[in-house]
A and B are shown apart, each in its own frame.
Chain A
Amino acid sequence: MLIRKHNLLDGSAIPTSEITPQAKYEQYKRLSRRGLLTGAGAVAATALGADRIADLLAPSNRVHASTKLETVKSPLTTTGEQLTTLQDVTHYNNFYEFGVDKSQPAQNAGTLPTRPWTIKVSGLVKAPKTFDIDTLLKLHPLEERVYRHRCVERWSMVIPWVGYSLSELTKQCEPLATAKYVQFLSYFDPKVEKWWSESGIRWPYSEGLRMDEAMNPLTLLTFGLYGDILPNQNGAPVRLTVPWKYGYKSAKSIVAIKFLSSQPPTSWNDQAPDEYGFYSNVNPNHDHPRWSQKYERRIGQAFYAQQRTTLMFNGYTDQVGSLYSGMDLNRYY
């Protein structure tokens, strides 16, 4: 019985609300193996609380039961896509403060100090505030939102994020009418992020959105993925997720948010303006100078099965297309 239940969890056709985080699933598997060895005792223990017991049996596991986040369903979740595995989501990362190779953040980001953590909101707001991470976690009910994630490098994933619309935080600070842009700054400490010099980026990492983009409900202030708090390599403890833009627009490990009257400098745009525009909307009709953006490769598939057609605004035209009506998206790429 135990085994069959676990096999169910392996499927991709389950409602996202019922998806068990993969690490947990691995824990269950490990537990069931031990359970078979040690007999009924372990089975009884499973009934009492698999999470706690599993953590006791595998204390070295990175994901602990206490880090699980309570979520509610969201109408803004993306359906009909097979999720990228937790293993790939957490071991294939661009987080250049921890190295330029995609396997490096998972190895190096362990030392990122995620507590205590605050986000300082300043600039053109009536109520400048500094939010503690634990306050932020309780500011609004957390939602699980599955989003497609498209990297400018032509690979893509489908990730069940946990968070709420950034607008919930913005409302608290009452931006002034003169605020036209929002800037996001990432944590930077060269002593922790010793790999910062591997790229030519000027730190701290800076990203920005136009005010209406920041206020769009799809723009997610993200605290977790796969029902758990964010692993460090994915931008713990809090990051942005802007699903209709290339991945680098979604700043990780955010420590400051500024409301501004003019467009803020952004890291990749600063590094290579011809390759990375301020807007960086996913756009199959606008080539990157070094490659076409018409297609993408879905992570975790066999090489002959990776190819997908890239969708305008990454498939979120219904929600965000109107933000850009009348704009020449080849000029404002």
Chain B
Amino acid sequence: MTKKTRILLKIPVWLACLTPWALLVSNSLTSQLGPDPTKSLIHSTGTAALYLLMISLAITPLRRLSPRLSWLIHFRRLLGLFAFFYGSLHLLCYVSLYAYFNPATVFTDVFKRKFIFVGMAAWALLVPLAITSTTGWIRRLGGKRWNLLHKLVYLSVTLGLIHYWWQVKRGVLSPLPETIALTLIFLARPLTTFWANHRRNNPLPSSQS
């Protein structure tokens, strides 16, 4: 893929990633956030963060399906950073609209309420990943160490999903579709590895990365 096509393709990806944000801003200005706007704000930012993180994690398994999909790697960092962007907005909504900027309230919530604790942990884990997402940092850390560090994203997305489960009422199954999707994404890596090895007729998993 040429640099020009890559840049051209990034425009729609940027637009798609900015759409939830644009909708929130325009709906806030026109009072179209529904009967409980505060809840709409916090739910939609949280959902956007979780979905973008899941999409970014789906890229590697998708690439393994066919060498023709390898160009998808150029969008992973963008999606990850947008996931962090929405995660940060989600946190800002909590700190402002739920904790009213009161540090004592935030402190109590984080250490008293497990769903807030895991949510906060999911966001905190993304901070070092966002910082080290630049090419400079990849070079400084070295590919291997950088890769190891960025495995934290799996922990972050899992905590994010637990945060969702613990936030809904007990017995309510609304996070189930996301859980199934994430399980499939997690299983896709070992499955595609297995499939690739099988195709090469090589019983030893020597090519595992």
Contact = CB atoms under 8 A, between A and B. Distances in A.
Q: Do A and B form a real pair?
A: yes
Interface residues of A, number: 28
Interface string A285-324: 0010111100101011111001100000000000000000
Given A289-B113, A291-B113, A271 B171 contact: yes
B4 to A, nearest CB: 42
Interface residues of B, number: 27
Contact of B169 (A272, A287, A291): A272
Contacts of A271: 169-171
A296 to B, nearest CB: 11
Interface string B91-126: 000000110100001001100110100000000000
A180 interface: no
B38 A297 contact: yes
Contacts of B183: none
By CB atoms of chain A within 10 A, which of B31, B36, B166, B172 has the most?
Answer: B36
Nearest to A197: B173
B172 A299 contact: no
Contacts of A275: 169-170
A249 to B, nearest CB: 16
A92 B112 CA distance: 30
Nearest to B93: A303
B12 interface: no
Interface string B149-180: 00000000000000000110111111000000
Nearest to B170: A272
Given A88-B35, A299-B35, A200 B172 contact: yes
A201 interface: yes
A302 B36 contact: no
B143 interface: no
21 contacts: A88-B35, A91-B35, A92-B34, A92-B35, A100-B172, A100-B174, A101-B174, A198-B174, A199-B172, A200-B170, A200-B171, A271-B169, A271-B171, A272-B170, A287-B112, A290-B113, A295-B100, A299-B36, A301-B37, A302-B28, A303-B97
